[in-house]
Chain A
Amino acid sequence: MATFATLVVLGLLWGGVYLLMAEGLNLIYGVMKVVNLAHGDFIVLGGLLALTLFGRYGLSPVVAFPLAAALLFVIGAAVQGGVLERILLAKPEGELRTLLATFGLSYVVANTSFLIWGSQFQSIPFLQSAFAVGPIAVPQGLLACSLLAAALAVAVHAWLRHTAVGRAVRATAQSALGAAACGLNVRRLRIVTFALGAAMAGGAGALVIALVPFQTSSGGDLTVQAFTLIALGGLGSYLGAWLAAELLGITEVMAQYYLGSDAAAAVIYLVFIAVLVFRPQGLLGRTMRI
């Protein structure tokens, strides 16, 4: 029973980490209805940057977090402004072209990282001890990441709800044409959104590399994991994404423990396909507006 309770607690904490890694994708999808296939590679890039900052300058991931986010913000803005804005989403093949473009981007990012950091799995030792709550051992690093994820989720939500720019972003999400007609600079809002989504990916990577080792080719898996989560949550929904993250975290931890790590890696994809096929509208039914 204590094992089971430990697994549930670990699952819940891991759920927070998954949420952290999916929030950027969720934001971009919610606003632009576009899936950034390079999302996982952005996470890995952020993580490897934190690795270098730790190795060279001894900076902790908590310090690296804003720096990785800032770098990815710049990259994200450049990608959206320089490349994706040139594809008109209004045209029927716009979604497909964007998908193909970000598919190419994922290889550019992953292989550029490969040139810099090589191909081995790498991690940062950080907050590796655990403290006991009754019979349950809670790893500190995991707890820190999970709390940060929750804080970030609340911050983004507050930003979208209560700031002028956030409201403009939501307006663009609901109708780009309507937003433009109200005098909003839709192009700039899309660039800000994409950059912010990329920054969240980079920041998440800087923290998560302290928990799981990254390899430059891990990006594809992370993209699918994040996408599974937001699809399960109902694309673009925040509450749904959080629920999905917790569910996925528990499933993954259980699968790791009872079935082994190979099977756990397959479980995420099985969940993914099952969600797409049987529950395309997500856990909470109809997609909620952000």
Chain B
Amino acid sequence: MSAARAARPRFLSDRAQFALQAALLGVLAASGLLIAGQGNGYAAQLVFNVALSVLLATGWNVIGGMTGYVSFGQVSFFGLGAYAAAIGVLHLALPWPIAALLATAAATSLAVPLGLIMLRLNGIFFALGMFGLARILQIAANGLNITGGPMGTTVPAAEGPAFPAAVTVVIAAAAAGVVAALMRTRLGLRLMAIRDDPVAAEAAGVNVWLAKVAAFCIGAGFAAIGGALYVWNIGYLDPSSAFAGTIELQTVLMVLAGGIGTVWGPVGGGILMSLLGTVLWARFPMEQQIVLGALTMLIAVALPGGLMSLLPRRGWMARPPIWGPPREASEGTLLPAVRVAVADTPGPVLVCRNLGKRFGGVAAVDGVDLEVAPGEVLAVIGPNGAGKSTLFNLLSGFAVPSTGEVEFAGCKIANIRPYVLARRGVARTFQTSRLFPTLSVWENVLLAAISRHRRKAHAVAAATELLERMGLREDWARLPQGLPPGRRRLLEIARALALEPSVLLLDEAMAGMTGPEIAQVHQVLRAAAARGCAIVAIEHVLPAIAPLAARVQVLDFGRTIAEGAPAEVLHDPTVIAAYLGTDMAGTEFAHA
């Protein structure tokens, strides 16, 4: 306990940090309610606008900021919510609260199929695809006669803006609270990992699809409530205002100005930018959008992190580390680093036969047989372009073989998604290290640990133990870029081991490490192998892995050219020829 306290003083405890943030949110909401309750219609309308902006920005941020899927059509769900609520009130004679709830539920459910389609896209394609979606919906609304087609319709509205303003303030504050809480859950951690690197997230056992669609639905839900509240307040609805590009621009600008991907960015940006928008609208109605557009450009160029990036990274407004800091490790609580169940199966745990992968006319892997038994360390070496990394992609489910098959623990892995394999016990590292740049060292390991452990206490204990063993404990709060290259490699191995794998695939994991770091890795790998973990290690050169490996398999041009104990393989003339080249022998280059 005392050591844990000693490690903390640089930071507030995350509970204190959470309490402070909740208090600030409460103060903001209370001031909103006070102003709305004053009886001044103009002030109440202003509060409504500000709160609605915060709500929309917060919703956009869940998919655009936390998950990294920037959307130019989030207004689709605002419009859907608005239309669904209006139809509920007008044609089903529902009372407003029920219409709004049903509208939100309807838009959120619709987000599931839409998300399944749209989230196949990424980057610019997703952003513009969403823009297209909003336009399709707007055209559909033009053709909807029960809501007046393109001319729109009036809807029975609230009496005066005070009540809607108060309700919207409460909902916006709740939405911000939900996002703050989300950032401290498994889903939140997974979303941020997906934003940083979807491939590495998949390798760490994250069901990328499910997490993305969940985030899409949450963001859609917030936007849909906003749409319903908007109609309730204004009492009028038409396609061009329900699916307005202006709303999209303002939402994006608010999130960007406040700080994309943070809890407080959308709140602060929402408040500031909606006030600015209102002032501009009052003074310069014609020029308002020019100024907002120019501001978006300015922030994108000069302050991409928004206002939040001006605050200290570990200040009290920042995101507290998820489930941190690491607990005090004591020998008694250490968990086994590999699962015993698979290790007990007799025979090889990973087998591949006649495995091949062609890219166009090139056979990157061409009929490779490989097997590795529990507790065995197999080194795969070969010159550049020998097909080593492609082999790993095939073994870990990231690539589909053109010929042959892979069996893990007696089951064929064809058509098993990489994250499922990772959870079942095939862990891997990448040739160029793929850590999550915006997650702390601790969270990088924790992400994999939560794929393995259902219980929080177990995941925390396992992540703690791995940081301890790798000597990374002191660095738990740093970002990966803050570590020297060798220690980044250690962290990536720790992340793979946090899956408690039965098979560990290391892709040039020891490249760029110092001698003591290699010694540390050897120690950890020996411990893992001793408990039954099968290790397949690719290395460009043999010495880094030779002390551990009982067997070496040499690849060249996608085929196995030699196999055996390290010492014999190193003296095999075929291997020497593969590394040094046969064509060169006897030519003037060989003598040079």
B538 to chain A, nearest CB (A): 26
- Chain A residue with minimal CB distance to B117? A277
Interface pair B293/A104, CB less than 8 Å apart:
yes
Which residues of chain A are near B253, meaning CB under 8 Å?
104
Instruction: State whether the Cβ of B143 lies closer than 8 Å to any Cβ in chain A.
Output: yes
CB contact list, B117-134 vs A, under 8 A: 117-118, 120-121, 123-125, 127-129, 131-133
CA distance A263 to B17 in the complex (A): 53
Which residues of chain A are near B120, meaning CB under 8 Å?
277
- The residue that A87 contacts in the complex, of B135, B136, B300, with Cβ under 8 A, is B300
A251 to chain B, nearest CB (A): 15
Instruction: State whether the Cβ of A276 lies closer than 8 Å to any Cβ in chain B.
Output: yes
Interface string of A98-117 (1 = CB under 8 A from B): 11110111111011101100
CA distance A100 to B127 in the complex (A): 10
**Given the contacts A107-B292, A269-B135, A273-B133, A97 and B128 also touching, CB distance less than 8 Å:** no
Instruction: State whether the Cβ of B588 lies closer than 8 Å to any Cβ in chain A.
Output: no
Interface pair A262/B125, CB less than 8 Å apart:
no
Interface-central residue, A95, A103, A265, by most chain B CB under 10 Å: A103
B68 to chain A, nearest CB (A): 8
- Chain B residue with minimal CB distance to A270? B136
B29 to chain A, nearest CB (A): 29
Which residues of chain A are near B404, meaning CB under 8 Å?
none
- The residue that A101 contacts in the complex, of B70, B125, B133, B296, with Cβ under 8 A, is B296
Interface-central residue, B70, B117, B301, B304, by most chain A CB under 10 Å: B301
Instruction: State whether the Cβ of B289 lies closer than 8 Å to any Cβ in chain A.
Output: yes
Q: How large is the interface on A (under 10, 10 to 19, 20 to 34, 35 or more residues)?
A: 35 or more
**Given the contacts A221-B135, A270-B136, A273-B133, A111 and B301 also touching, CB distance less than 8 Å:** no
CB contact list, A191-223 vs B, under 8 A: 217, 220-221
Interface pair B124/A95, CB less than 8 Å apart:
yes
A7 to chain B, nearest CB (A): 22
Interface-central residue, B121, B133, B300, by most chain A CB under 10 Å: B300
Instruction: State whether the Cβ of B245 lies closer than 8 Å to any Cβ in chain A.
Output: yes
- The residue that B70 contacts in the complex, of A100, A273, A277, with Cβ under 8 A, is A100
Interface pair B296/A273, CB less than 8 Å apart:
no
Which residues of chain B are near A96, meaning CB under 8 Å?
70, 123
Interface pair A103/B252, CB less than 8 Å apart:
yes
Interface pair A269/B136, CB less than 8 Å apart:
yes
- Chain A residue with minimal CB distance to B253? A104
Interface pair A112/B297, CB less than 8 Å apart:
no
Interface string of A261-290 (1 = CB under 8 A from B): 010011001101100110010000000000
**Given the contacts A103-B296, A273-B133, A265 and B128 also touching, CB distance less than 8 Å:** no
Interface pair B121/A86, CB less than 8 Å apart:
no
Which residues of chain A are near B295, meaning CB under 8 Å?
104
Instruction: State whether the Cβ of B256 lies closer than 8 Å to any Cβ in chain A.
Output: yes
Interface-central residue, B70, B120, B128, by most chain A CB under 10 Å: B128
Interface pair A265/B139, CB less than 8 Å apart:
yes
Interface string of B94-132 (1 = CB under 8 A from A): 000000000000000000000001101101110111011
CA distance A272 to B297 in the complex (A): 26
Which residues of chain A are near B302, meaning CB under 8 Å?
86
Interface string of B140-153 (1 = CB under 8 A from A): 10110000000000
Which residues of chain A are near B131, meaning CB under 8 Å?
220, 224
List the 10 closest A-B pairs by CB distance, nearest first. Answer: A104-B296, A107-B293, A104-B297, A101-B300, A108-B293, A100-B300, A269-B132, A111-B289, A104-B293, A266-B139
Known: A112-B290, A220-B135. 17 other contacts (CB 8 A): A37-B72, A97-B301, A98-B300, A99-B70, A99-B124, A101-B296, A103-B72, A111-B287, A115-B286, A224-B128, A231-B125, A273-B118, A273-B132, A273-B133, A273-B136, A276-B128, A280-B121
Q: What are some 23 contacts across the A-B interface (CB < 8 A)?
A: A84-B301, A86-B302, A97-B304, A98-B300, A100-B252, A101-B300, A101-B301, A103-B72, A104-B249, A104-B295, A104-B300, A105-B297, A107-B292, A107-B296, A108-B297, A111-B289, A112-B290, A114-B286, A262-B139, A269-B136, A273-B129, A276-B121, A276-B129
